[in-house]
Structure 1
């Protein structure tokens, strides 16, 4: 496959479902989900950046009984929905936000983030549960008139890839070969480690588009200190990854959750990254793609030369 300089942005859109299995969910993140979703849609529109939005299927429902008797989830999996969050429909349902996503002028990709944020790599997640999570999310998407080509694993816990293939999914976001947070900052700045990734076809015929950088992997007091004497380290890393994509005709894949935008400084981080991406795209041949775009590009290249990069992976 002839590489092209490109950048992918993917988002894990989950609201409360990203934390419903936590004993003590982080309040700031839980409450920031809707605000962050709307902010990211606005920023993507401002800079005309298409992204892969991986949406938890349950958010597309208008209502439910909170029991889900036909779902083979472990006992207690939906407990928070029935008790603590019984009156928090804003955390459990988001047809309004999904509609805003689908009606956006930017050509975003609608992807699946499972039905209820089950962790696919856990031993207790068997094939039956994985299949139910995938199929239910696809059924709901179909009811909305959406086809789904890409999948983002909850918490990047990759597993049961054969289930994706069996249900018509063609691509997924794979684990990052780089490091986030402090170690990633050291590797990319001091050691000049590349943040570019190579999409590959796995043994199930799925296109794995690995993540390069989690845009909120450098938080807390260490971020505050760094910003006070320097500039936002994650903005620096993102700019470096974008530049590497331009210079090496490679792929840089950054990702985040909308609920990472808990304060205005998080908005500024994303604005600084997307505005820079837009400028570099204008100055060069850099393209902005979705996970699905990358997969189709790889499939086209395979059709031309008959070969593909295939790797084995552990489930």
Structure 2
């Protein structure tokens, strides 16, 4: 499968709701709806469907804040009813989701749990509640959930996903073995700028629970900071360079380049330019090769019925 997948972790304020108000990245939260709309418009421009993994609570228009019966830790929903609540526009997003559902693109709308719970540290009861409530909220909005992304990529309780009827999930990026003394972020930056290696192409496979694991290849905003900004200003954006290498590698062989990001990653026009450059490259390569653009759901279809794979 020579293909590209883009998956989007659509959480808005839920990605940061357990942080104390003083520690929340207010700039990222404040720009998250702008980032969401810019991602959607760019995908429309280049005719690229994506997997949108949405926090289930965003499907709702309002709630009492009690969440009766939800086995969450004490204070988990306190940001909804405390002294300094997070603004409602970052806790609900039915209009944004209506636009996705009504899009002519065949977006795959999956889930990022109901309230952005990290599954590696969740009880089984909490994992069940997060899956079931997210799926119920989506189905109420007319969305069938096939795809799942683990908040902050913390994989766990895959058996719960299978029991809930989920078909596929985004697994963790394969990391090559290394004896380098440098930190993982520096190694990633070096691969993008010095070594010039593409991100790993991945091979989706069915796991022991019958779920299709669609591992990530590259987070488009996984390496940020002064070094990245300096390189972007001098030799070009290393994230764009890596993504283009991955797309080209997928087009040249049988592999999947799985790119991922969040709406809250886009806070500036430069961030948007990065995403536009990647989408433009996907579109141009697709026009000249056999590269296909898939979603996690369509990848799961191909893995389940290999004779129909591209």
TM range (shorter): over 0.9
Q: Is the 8 A contact 1:171 1:291 kept in 2?
A: yes
Task: Give yes or no for the alignment of 1:286 onto 2:291.
Answer: yes
| Distance in 1 (alpha carbons) for counterparts of 2:83 and 2:301 | 43
Deviation at 1:220, TM superposition (A): 2.0
SS of equivalent to 1:295 = helix
Q: Which structure 2 residues correspond to residues 1-315 of structure 1 after superposition, within 5 A?
A: 4-23=1-20, 24-83=23-82, 86=85, 88-122=87-121, 125-178=122-175, 181-187=185-191, 190=195, 192=197, 194-301=199-306
| Distance in 2 (alpha carbons) for counterparts of 1:166 and 1:26 | 35
Q: Is the 8 A contact 1:171 1:207 kept in 2?
A: yes
Gap runs ≥5 in structure 2: 177-183
Q: Which residue of 1 aligns with 2:181?
A: none
Tell me the alpha carbon deviations over residues 165-217 of structure 1, each in whole angstroms, 9 at most, x when there is no partner: 00111100001113874322323551736520111111101100000000001
Deviation at 1:303, TM superposition (A): 10
SS of equivalent to 2:109 = strand
CA RMSD of aligned residues (A): 1.7
| Distance in 1 (alpha carbons) for counterparts of 2:6 and 2:19 | 27
| Distance in 1 (alpha carbons) for counterparts of 2:55 and 2:84 | 17
Deviation at 1:218, TM superposition (A): 2.0
Q: Is the 8 A contact 1:211 1:255 kept in 2?
A: yes
| Distance in 2 (alpha carbons) for counterparts of 1:62 and 1:195 | 40
| Distance in 1 (alpha carbons) for counterparts of 2:10 and 2:80 | 18
Cα–Cα, structure 1 residues 193 and 103, in superposed 2: closer, same or farther, change >3 Å?
closer
| Distance in 1 (alpha carbons) for counterparts of 2:73 and 2:15 | 17
Q: Is the 8 A contact 2:198 2:245 kept in 1?
A: no
When normalised by structure 2's length, the TM-score is 0.93
| Distance in 1 (alpha carbons) for counterparts of 2:106 and 2:246 | 23
Q: Is the 8 A contact 1:195 1:244 kept in 2?
A: no
Cα–Cα, structure 1 residues 181 and 46, in superposed 2: closer, same or farther, change >3 Å?
farther
| Distance in 1 (alpha carbons) for counterparts of 2:37 and 2:287 | 25
